Amino acid sequence: MECFTKKYQALSDQLDQVLSRSLSTDCPDLIAIGERFTAQVRLKMMQGLQPPLDQAHPLSEERLLTVNEASRKLGMTKDYLYRHADQFPFAIRVVPHQLRFSLQGIERYIRQRKSRPAS
Residue boundaries of the structural domains of the chain:
12-115
How does pLDDT run across 3-13, given as a tens digit for each residue? Answer: 556 777 777 78
**pTM reported for the whole predicted model:** 0.48
- DSSP string for 32-61: HHHHHHHHHHHHHHHHHTSPPGGGS-TT--
97: left (phi over 0), alpha (psi -120 to 50) or beta: left
What single-letter DSSP state applies at residue 119?
-
CB atoms within 10 A of CB 32: 11
Amino acid (1-letter code) at residue 91: A
Average pLDDT, integer, range 49-53 = 53
